[in-house]
Amino acid sequence: MSVTDAGPVPSGPLRGITILDLSSVGPAARCTRLLADYGATVVKVGAVPGRGAEPIRPPFYAYSASRYLSRTAIDLKDPDGREAFLSLVRTADVVVESFRPGVVDRLRLGFDDLRAVNPRIILCSTTGYGQTGPRSAWAGHDINYLAVGGYLATTEPCADGGPPVAGATIADAAGGGMHAAMAVMAALIGRGEDGPGVHLDVSVADGVLWLTSLAVDEHLATGEPVGPGHNIITGRYACYDTYRAADGGWLAVGAIEPKFYANLCRLIGCEQWSGHQLDDRHQDEIRADFATAFAAKDRDAWVAELAGSDACVTPVLSVAELVGDEQFEARGAIVEAEIAFSGGPDGPGGSGGTGGEPNRFRQVGPVLAGMEPAGATVTIGDPLRSDTDRLLAAAGLGTERIAELRAKGAVA
């Protein structure tokens, strides 16, 4: 399938792989975002407007503004719509879905239905708790998966003693999105040139369990309760903590290795504690002296003094700060994006899309290892366009049949 209308497609290890994405937001959308940035052809399959519940529409900038993605709308409940979708499945490699367990089977689009038309198809079902188990039908979001996977209970609590709310969607992004993308890539390798497809049961909660597995494995092996302040990486010692600077900014200290800890103590004038890094009797005193030391200078002054001195000290950057950070800039992490609105360079209304979207903005580029850098500007297809005619024609449907499906409302 060609995705020329979606903007230039990057080269990469997944070039030539076609993914049909039935999700709109969440972990599955994170998964296909990664796969597209690794070079896969990703086709977003949405609902036909006006038929059934209106799907969640993320902000224009979300999921990298759907760069490199094609779009089609198909009514999967309509028999003709189902057949149109299956025509796309015949030449696809992967279908990614995030419905509740059992939904694709009721739509007659489960794994057996898909492999009946394409024996090599990989179906990636991404759900909160997996296809089986007592929680499989539960609804949930990021905070729920972090809660049951142990992450919240092993993180420093709030002032009232309650678990914190994470500042990033860790479960969606890593426990779900990266988990699903890794599973898909492993399945593609395992399938090889002529092997059969497979059904991947991706549970976001299982992914969070793996993220917390250092703590879980310690508890299973030793029987010890594991939580905040239990060991060096969960706040037990002063060498791994955050400290406020004179200007109210914060510094993160991660001086785990003894040599780094010794450097830190020397550079901030706390050499009296060099030999007491893991001495539980003195941690309150060490923290107090570290806090006093760091409070003597502004954050950036400490960074200038410590960051390159093997003391494992960094600034705590806000989002507004990190987008201009010299390290990310040097690695080309932030790129310019331009939406090619179908109504012209300024969109139908002259100032972007119908929702008032700007046609130029910045975004996080393809930053993971093995992804092709985006270059000076990323071109993004009009988010309101439909690639349905082109995609169905490439799948072998004739012009008259496509027109019939459009007239019936089975596709849009």
327 torsion bin: left (phi>0), alpha (psi -120 to 50), beta (else): alpha
Active-site annotation holder among 21, 78, 93, 172: 172
Per DSSP, helices labelled H in 251-295 are 258-267, 283-294
Hey, what amino acid is at 63?
A: Y
The DSSP output letter for 176 is I
Spatial contact of 154 and 170, defined as CB atoms under 8 Å apart: no
Q: Which two tokens stand for residue 125?
A: 């079902």
Provide the CB-side half-sphere exposure for 198 (13 A, CA). 15
Q: Which residues contact 338 (CB under 8 A, 6 or more apart)?
A: 359, 360, 377, 378, 379, 380
The DSSP output letter for 67 is T
Q: Which two tokens stand for residue 404?
A: 């019939």
Residue 215 CB-density burial (10 A; 0-12 exposed, 13-18 middle, 19+ buried): buried
Look at the chain and count its residues. Answer: 412
Distance CA 43, CA 20 (A): 5
Active site (annotated) includes residue 141: yes
Distance CA 265, CA 262 (A): 5
Active site (annotated) includes residue 172: yes
Q: Which residues contact 265 (CB under 8 A, 6 or more apart)?
A: 271, 272, 273, 274
Active-site annotation holder among 141, 217, 247, 346: 141
Spatial contact of 314 and 240, defined as CB atoms under 8 Å apart: no
Read out DSSP for 273-335?
Answer: GTT-TT-GGGHHHHHHHHHHHHTTS-HHHHHHHHTTTTS-EEE---HHHHTT-HHHHHTT-EE
Spatial contact of 72 and 66, defined as CB atoms under 8 Å apart: no
Q: Which two tokens stand for residue 193?
A: 């040139």
Distance CA 251, CA 271 (A): 19
Looking at the DSSP assignment, which residues form a beta bridge with residue 361?
337
Catalytically active residues, by annotation: 141, 172
